[in-house]
Amino acid sequence: MPIEFIISRQKHTEIVKQLASEYGFLQCGISKAAFLEEEAPKLEQWLNANYHGKMAYMANHFDKRLDPTKLVEGAKSVISLLYNYYPIQEQRTDTYKISKYAYGEDYHFVIKDKLKELVFQLEEQIGEINGRIFVDSAPVMDKVWAEKSGLGWIGKHTNLINPKEGSFFFIAEIISDLDLVPDGPIKDYCGTCTKCIDACPTEAIVAPYVLDGSKCISYFTIELKDEIPNDVKGKFEDWVFGCDICQDVCPWNRFSKGHQEPLFEAKENLLEMSKEDWAQLDEDHFKKVFKKSAVKRTKYSGLMRNIEFVKG
């Protein structure tokens, strides 16, 4: 390999990581863009067990989900990035709960805007590149790529855990034709801990590192458009949009630090809303409180369905 190419590759890698830091990303890791051979049978088994429930999109684009070169022609690198969303202040304890990631504006748009700027600056410094950005969108196995690039390990609850930051962060990717220096994976430090498995009220973590998505509270309150089945009544522990239980009990989240993103700050009064406030929410107030929020995904009717179900 020519020395000029090695130097150029190293320099480009340093530029990518420096820009990621400048745009507020917690960490940035790089993997070689190649077929995920080890993941193929795992994904097939997971789908065959119907752990995706009625999330039909999870079964689509099987090959693209495993091979980034089918998403970006000539792809050489997968750049994985973490963006913190851990809030300094949380909801009051005696109310209906929503996942911390949904306190502020929808992360898809916030992080995509940052990545567009990052790629623009990258091209300003090194020239035109062929690439695409992904924020929990399209068939990309983001946690797997982040794990391969050394940003953490996939814990028993199937979330990515970073030993310095915990797990309250979003994962995003840039898949591009840039030839960059890849990072290697780190060890799994879950050890003998089973706190996440023991704490899940719907027993969605059916085995260490295996999540039955169709039993998860997040699935019931966001993805499922039908009526929520009666056999999980009384098990939601007041969660009405998403669920953070398995992350809240994880010992590694003692390292979580409050985010520095103004757009992720909770809307006025959200953190102080009582159960009565939630139950009396009308559609106009819903639109005001959750303007630009990920909570809009379940719509007003879906949120009220969830509240009624939890109320019992």
Taking residues 102-112, report their average pLDDT: 97
Is a pLDDT exceeding 90 seen at residue 5? no
Model confidence band, residue 2 (pLDDT cutoffs 50, 70, 90): low
pLDDT at 22: 98
Taking residues 91-108, report their average pLDDT: 97
Is a pLDDT exceeding 90 seen at residue 3? no
pLDDT at 137: 81
C-alpha distances in angstroms, 125 versus 11, 70, 118, 129?
11, 27, 11, 11
Determine what percent of the chain is predicted with pLDDT higher than 70: 98
pLDDT at 252: 98
Token code pair at residue 101: 């990631």
Q: What is the pLDDT of residues 140-198, one digit of tens each?
A: 999 999 999 999 999 999 999 999 999 999 999 999 999 999 999 999 999 999 999 99
The chain-wide mean pLDDT, for the chain, equals 96
pLDDT at 138: 86
Which residues are identified as catalytic? 136
Model confidence band, residue 312 (pLDDT cutoffs 50, 70, 90): confident
Lowest mean pLDDT among 4-13, 73-82, 161-170: 4-13
Q: What is the pTM of this model?
A: 0.95
Is a pLDDT exceeding 70 seen at residue 216? yes
CA Rg, the chain, in Å?
A: 20
Is a pLDDT exceeding 70 seen at residue 1? no
The C-alpha atoms of residue 84 and residue 81 are separated, in whole angstroms, by 10
pLDDT at 7: 77
Backbone angles phi, psi at 118, to 5 degrees: -60, -45
Cβ–Cβ < 8 Å for 218, 243: yes
* Max Cα–Cα distance, the chain, nearest Å: 68
Backbone angles phi, psi at 112, to 5 degrees: -60, -40
Q: What is the pLDDT of residues 220-278, one digit of tens each?
A: 999 999 999 999 999 999 999 999 999 999 999 999 999 999 999 998 789 999 999 99
Distance linking the first and last C-alpha atoms of the chain: 66
